[in-house]
Chain A
């Protein structure tokens, strides 16, 4: 052992032991938190995509309800409304729906009524808006009124507002959960740093008396816990990516469900996780270690 020692080939050993008995538990807890954070991130991205897609569809369309008046037949009124709307700027297409479609739309609400076709059901006109310069509801209303068509224009703005609000709520909740997880990870690392410093009080004392500055000693613990958290982040991110890929494969072309359409690109959300975990751990360890080291003196 000693005979083989060659000072010229000596390389300094780390000031802190490379492994501690409690590292396993810390890695497990931080990895689980990172796993949850990655799932949250992927879920928020998928939900945002769904909301975006829904609002995109709704923004491009409008529905017009036509009421015949005078001696006009409902079908005639709908055909006239479609003709007026088709010639309006900002409209790509306007199509009067067949009466059967209108009955199909109200049938779920009324049940199986045998003489449903005798009901005075208003006719509908489906409008596809020009995606580059879409007409808004007032313009459509004005065009119809100008041609003496009694109609109500629904540009889906109520739904769009709701979906956008839901999208914002999901994003906000996701950010909140993400911050909560980051705070939990910081607390766990702070606790581990406290335990690590207590267990390595001898090292701190020796380093102090050898002339090490507080920031130098805190930096050792910071680097150590950043490394451990980075490893844990890698494990958590990998597990989340595997699960995300599994859901994508299981969900087929639509992702998991139409409401949560996972895409392969969503897996990229896990990439920053190890770095973020290391940064959160570094900050928590630095603050905790500095405070404790100063208290030790």
Chain B
């Protein structure tokens, strides 16, 4: 990462990072929370996914980061059909995806530095190879003075930026964020959004699930609008939905 602390690893040119073909999803034997979704995200794109509560935004992200399985249809990640991928391929695919959760899910017993370094450690890197990069990244997200702090001692915005740092430290090809500005004030929301824009500018595909209409309208980015588990036609056109 000495070239750039957050530059994304490159995907194959022209290959969609994400493609949904007729994807539906349900929890257990319940009704479909997502129905017949068809869309794709090109490398380096930046999208919002929005909709009312319960529309399926978080479920959509779960499908992408492989925390849930579709009940119908096919999902392609980086050109690979995840339904047909061998079980052992999942961890490798996940290493190409960064996730910022709605509730952040920081490990409270690890320092900001350890939380951020987590994906690199799991990938088998040696501390000597990445500790400088982690420090640079934390400085880049404005936590240079809080590297040794434990998450419970961090303010809301700091926790949010720490979660983002952890999500991008291994230079994922796609960054997913679920309500990343839901628990911060307007000023912090703008700072965080700028962070995402910067990440996107450096090559990372970004998909943000949010209720924040002001943020969406100000960004001018395409929107995937979910309603009752379906993509609405009007918004779909903006993201090239089939």
Interface residues in B107-128 (C-beta closer than 8 Å to A):
107, 109-111, 113-114, 117-119, 121-123, 127
A12 vs B113: C-alpha distance when bound (angstroms): 9
Residue numbers in B under 8 Å from A205 (CB-CB):
67, 105
Q: Does A110 contact B (CB under 8 A)?
A: no
* Set of chain A residues within 8 Å of B110, measured between Cβ atoms: 13
A3 near B127 (CB under 8 angstroms)?
no
CA distance A15 to B122 in the complex (A): 10
**Does any Cβ of B come within 8 Å of A194's Cβ?**
no
How many of chain B's residues have a CB under 8 angstroms from any CB in A? Answer: 34
Cβ B147 vs Cβ A2 within 8 A: yes
- Bound-state Cα–Cα, A203 to B114, Å: 13
Q: Does A209 have its Cβ within 8 Å of any Cβ on chain B? A: yes
Given the known A-B contacts A13-B111, A208-B94, A212-B91, are A7 and B134 also in contact in the complex, defined by CB atoms under 8 Å? yes
Q: With A13-B111, A203-B107 in contact, is A211–B127 under 8 Å at CB?
A: no
Contact B132 A7 (CB under 8 A): yes
B83-103 contact mask (Cβ, 8 Å, vs A): 1 or 0 = 000001001101101010000
A7 and B147 form a contact (CB under 8 A):
yes
B149 at the interface (CB under 8 A from A): yes
**B146 in the interface (beta carbon within 8 A):** yes
Cβ of A117 under 8 Å from chain B: no
Q: For B114, list chain A residues within 8 Å (CB).
A: 12-13
Complex interface: chain B residues within 8 A of A210 (CB):
94-95, 118-119, 122, 166, 170
Q: A3-B145, A7-B147 are in contact. Are A209 and B107 (CB under 8 A)?
A: no
**Interface of A, helix, strand, loop or mixed by DSSP:** loop
Q: What residue of chain A has the Cβ atom nearest to residue B123's Cβ?
A: A211
Knowing A7-B132, A10-B127, A11-B127, say if A209 contacts B111 (CB, 8 Å). Answer: no
Q: Given the interface contacts A7-B135, A209-B94, A212-B91, does A1 sit within 8 Å of B149 by beta carbon? A: yes
Verify B109–A5 contact, CB threshold 8 A. no
B65 proximal to A (CB < 8 A): yes
Of chain A, the residue at the smallest CB distance from B103 is A202
Which residue of A is nearest B120, CB measured? A210
List, sorted by A's number, 13 A–B pairs whose CB atoms are closer than 8 Å. A2-B147, A2-B148, A10-B127, A12-B117, A13-B114, A206-B107, A209-B67, A209-B99, A210-B166, A211-B91, A211-B95, A212-B91, A213-B88
Known: A5-B113, A15-B118. 13 other contacts (CB 8 A): A1-B148, A2-B148, A7-B131, A8-B131, A10-B131, A11-B127, A15-B121, A206-B105, A206-B118, A207-B122, A210-B118, A211-B91, A211-B92
B interface residues with partner A (beta carbon < 8 Å): 65, 67, 88, 91-92, 94-95, 97, 99, 105, 107, 109-111, 113-114, 117-119, 121-123, 127, 131-132, 134-135, 145-149, 166, 170
